[in-house]
Structure 1
């Protein structure tokens, strides 16, 4: 369903641009277990990015908020000539908008972050 929805969005808004929808299996799992800077993660990123570079990719749109953690590695592999569009800020803003609309937004910005590994 997600792929079908994304395909419809691309078709509606592509405006003559060519999009290649590329899944990146393993990215999220590596990030969630804090294995970002490992040889295995580099192999995964190369496996996803290099075929796109062969197709002359000029922009990489991050389809998952997790992927922001891999930007340095993606940049290293893709090079500076490829633009990277990060989506985490837009996703956070949309979540905030939805919470506000549902009157569920916290009254204060004070919170805490707890990381459980």
Structure 2
């Protein structure tokens, strides 16, 4: 499929299923995706590995976190590898996350 046919298909089909098409430059896309996808998948995958479960005592923020966990719980490992490995800006997000987590741990 040509690039123009694929773009037309995206712009005509995706809104019909409730998705917004955002036209952007590749570099800008990668920066935004590193934050929105990379960080979300990274944290949710870490929480999956922690084996957190719903409890009787909860908060709205915990429920939101658990919702993110459920979205990635059954993803193939290649999904996270692709999101973090293929995006040139993901490593910067990961490094910043680790640095801030370490700084927080040192304060406690």
Structure with greater strand percent: 1
User: TM (normalized to structure 1)?
Assistant: 0.27
User: TM (normalized to structure 2)?
Assistant: 0.29
